[in-house]
């Protein structure tokens, strides 16, 4: 069936994507809330910056990450000196690349769902004695839950498929940064690698498909649970 080499590629892909999405989720939601609910100077600029990875070529995003987080980059040096963390050629770097590429999709989905929450309900909660934070926790957050799940799903799928920024930023290192798409690319470079490529491609499709089904199920559950939340 599935060889141990293939398992390790799948495991690495899942690890990179899950870490990327888990770490990005709170940041994405905070950005989505800010963009949906607050007017502040520099809002358009922030909006544009968040969307940048969606519109520039992934290779450029990877190159920018290399400049910022590389051994001599300002953020890379800071991480190295303060925490002894290096992202270069490591799976952690692949996770950062996946997170940056997934961020705009997550913010978009969450922002739409926050905008769909009727602000008048938040006002009603406030008149009933809720502080802004309590009203957020009890009204805005639960009502935008389907958008959070949808955003996480989109981001996860995007992370699983991430190629350009990853290979530019952290290269194609077996066991560290060679996720499914990179492994498929590698297989294509090798004469006679077609059968490997086919197997990996099928696994990739199955993985994405199950992520989609799981998220659909979660969203349905979140919507169905509404009537039962006390």
Task: Give the binding site for another protein (CB under 8 A).
Answer: 118, 120-121, 123-131, 138-139, 142-143, 226-230
Nearest Cα neighbor of 24 from 110, 149, 152 is 152
User: Shortest distance, CB of residue 42 to another protein, whole angstroms?
Assistant: 24
User: Shortest distance, CB of residue 223 to another protein, whole angstroms?
Assistant: 9
Q: How far apart are CA 8 and CA 196, in angstroms?
A: 14
- Supply the DSSP symbol for 140: I
Q: Which is nearer to another protein, 49 or 124 (CB)?
A: 124
Q: Which is nearer to another protein, 43 or 226 (CB)?
A: 226
Nearest Cα neighbor of 106 from 22, 181, 179 is 22
Beta carbons of 52 and 128 less than 8 angstroms apart? no
Beta carbons of 77 and 69 less than 8 angstroms apart? no
User: Shortest distance, CB of residue 125 to another protein, whole angstroms?
Assistant: 7
- Supply the DSSP symbol for 190: S
Q: Which is nearer to another protein, 55 or 116 (CB)?
A: 116
Q: How far apart are CA 59 and CA 67, in angstroms?
A: 12
Q: How far apart are CA 117 and CA 163, in angstroms?
A: 35
Q: Which is nearer to another protein, 86 or 138 (CB)?
A: 138
User: Shortest distance, CB of residue 215 to another protein, whole angstroms?
Assistant: 20
Q: Which is nearer to another protein, 136 or 185 (CB)?
A: 136
User: Shortest distance, CB of residue 32 to another protein, whole angstroms?
Assistant: 19
Q: How far apart are CA 163 and CA 17, in angstroms?
A: 12
């Amino acid at each position: 069936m599935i060889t141990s080499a293939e398992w390790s590629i799948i495991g690495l892909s899942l690890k990179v994507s899950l870490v990327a999405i888990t770490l990005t989720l709170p940041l994405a939601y905070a950005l989505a809330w800010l963009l949906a609910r607050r007017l502040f100077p520099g809002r358009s600029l922030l909006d544009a910056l968040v969307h940048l990875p969606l519109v520039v070529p992934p290779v450029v995003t990877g190159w920018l990450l290399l400049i910022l987080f590389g051994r001599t980059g300002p953020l890379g040096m800071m991480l190295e000196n303060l925490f002894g963390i290096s992202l270069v050629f490591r799976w952690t770097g692949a996770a950062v690349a996946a997170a940056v590429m997934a961020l705009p999709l997550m913010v978009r989905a969450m922002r739409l769902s926050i905008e769909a929450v009727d602000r008048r309900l938040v006002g009603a909660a406030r008149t009933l004695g809720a502080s802004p934070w309590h009203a957020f926790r009890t009204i805005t957050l639960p009502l935008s839950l389907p958008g959070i799940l949808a955003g996480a799903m989109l981001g996860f799928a995007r992370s699983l498929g991430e190629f350009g920024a990853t290979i530019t930023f952290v290269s194609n290192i077996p066991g560290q940064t060679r996720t499914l798409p990179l492994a498929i690319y590698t297989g294509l470079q090798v004469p006679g690698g077609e059968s490997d490529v086919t197997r990996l491609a099928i696994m990739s499709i199955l993985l994405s498909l199950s992520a989609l089904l799981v998220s659909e199920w979660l969203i349905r559950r979140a919507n169905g649970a509404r009537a039962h939340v006390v």
